[in-house]
Amino acid sequence: MPEDPAVTGPATLRIGTRGSALATTPTGHAADALVAAGGPAYELEIIRTEGDVATGSLAALGGTGVFAAALRHALVDGRVDLAVHSLKDLPTAPHPGLAIGAVPVREDPRDALCARDGLRLEDLPEGATVGTGSPRRVAQLLAARPDVTVVDIRGNVPTRLARVAGLDSSGPGDLDAVVLASSGLRRLGLEGHISQHLDPSVMLPAPGQGALALEVRAEVLHADAELAAQALGAYGDVPEHVRTPQRPGQAELDAALVAALSRVNHVESRWAVSAERALLARLEAGCAAPVGTLATVEDGLLVLQVAVASPDGTRLMRRTEASDELSVDAARELGRRVGDGLLADGAAELAGLR
């Protein structure tokens, strides 16, 4: 259906997000950043995902895709124009016809210990109970402190914090500590509960942790060669099942959106997460794998740190490599190269990836 020629302004930007506070808060920040960058007015569309309603552990639910699939379906169906994902929840395989339009400035990627009495990891008593639902955190936690007892937990951030003795009088208080993402705690205004930011030398985060992915229909990026080049697969033809919305003002919306995406895209954050995700893809690992990685730009180099552990933390393989070329393509190549080296050294067998 042709657009109404009487409409001169862009349509309203429909942004898809999960309904939890941990999702809507950063989505709102990203949306406001787009407006500040000249983007159009927006409205949030709450999309319910399988990961939000299921009660099992993330690993048991099938991994990161349980949070992303419903948002991607909304994009494909033309119900939203932009989906905001926590990048660590987004599968590494690109979805046909969709592309990551921007990665804003990354939040603190480190994990955080929230413990009773402000204890640090090294101060926890022998046999202390520490809650986490992440196999990656379990393995690295046990590698650092094999004498603690890890308890599998699930629930939103306040629910997890309430498991720690003394942090919430209304909670069970049955644990000595929990491990959570620093970025999530900060976004919710709960960083005051952090007793220790865990150094990457002790616990490397999940690939993409602390970063957001602003995903759009790939065709939207065709107007910006640089963004399209950064978004793997964005130059490909849009499959027929990806519906281009036919609303009055849609063309103007798409033009304003791609211009705003270019302004909020943070290239150093994008280099970092591109290396991390390329590594994860090469290892064919997901959130159920005991793999941690972090890329940073240091003195003109992109430095990639990786830890691959046995699920019980008794064996740990670490690698640090760097690239002196700073580009998304070079970042991906760095991730693939490190992944190849790890596989050659037996990482798949160590971590149970095969």
Q: What is the pLDDT of residues 288-331, one digit of tens each?
A: 789 999 999 999 999 999 999 999 999 999 999 999 999 999 99
CA angle 220–226–229, rounded 5-degree value: 80
Average pLDDT, integer, range 134-143: 96
Identified catalytic residue from 88, 163, 247, 332: 88
Q: Average pLDDT, whole number, for the chain?
A: 90
Identified catalytic residue from 110, 160, 187, 277: 160
- Confidence category of residue 3, pLDDT binned at 50, 70, 90: very low
How many Å from the N-terminal Cα to the C-terminal Cα in the chain? 50
pLDDT tens per residue across span 80-123? 999 999 999 899 888 888 999 999 999 999 999 999 999 999 99
Let me know if 110 is a catalytic residue.
no
Identified catalytic residue from 154, 243, 315, 337: 154
- The Cα–Cα gap between 96 and 119 comes to 47
- At residue 234, the pLDDT reads 56
Let me know if 114 is a catalytic residue.
no
The residues that bridge with 294 in the sheet, in sequence order, are 305
Please name the amino acid found at residue 5: P
Q: Residue 320 phi/psi, 5° resolution?
A: -135, 120
Residue 57 has pLDDT above 70, yes or no: no
Identified catalytic residue from 136, 187, 270, 332: 136
Placement of tokens 């299921």 in the chain: 54
- The Cα–Cα gap between 10 and 248 comes to 8
- The CA radius of gyration of the chain, in Å to the nearest whole number, is 21
- Confidence category of residue 40, pLDDT binned at 50, 70, 90: very high
Identified catalytic residue from 72, 81, 89, 247: 89
Identified catalytic residue from 18, 106, 110, 137: 137
CA angle 84–188–183, rounded 5-degree value: 65
- The Cα–Cα gap between 255 and 293 comes to 35
- Confidence category of residue 64, pLDDT binned at 50, 70, 90: low
- At residue 68, the pLDDT reads 87
Let me know if 176 is a catalytic residue.
no
Let me know if 136 is a catalytic residue.
yes
Residue 54 has pLDDT above 50, yes or no: no
Let me know if 89 is a catalytic residue.
yes
13-17 and 42-46 strand pairing? parallel
Residue 225 has pLDDT above 60, yes or no: yes
Angle of helix 250-264 versus helix 21-36 axis, rounded to 10: 100
Average pLDDT, integer, range 54-72: 62
Residue 185 has pLDDT above 70, yes or no: yes
DSSP 19: S
**Nearest residue to 110 (alpha-carbon basis) of 338, 292, 281, 323:** 292
**Confidence (pTM):** 0.89
- The Cα–Cα gap between 344 and 324 comes to 24
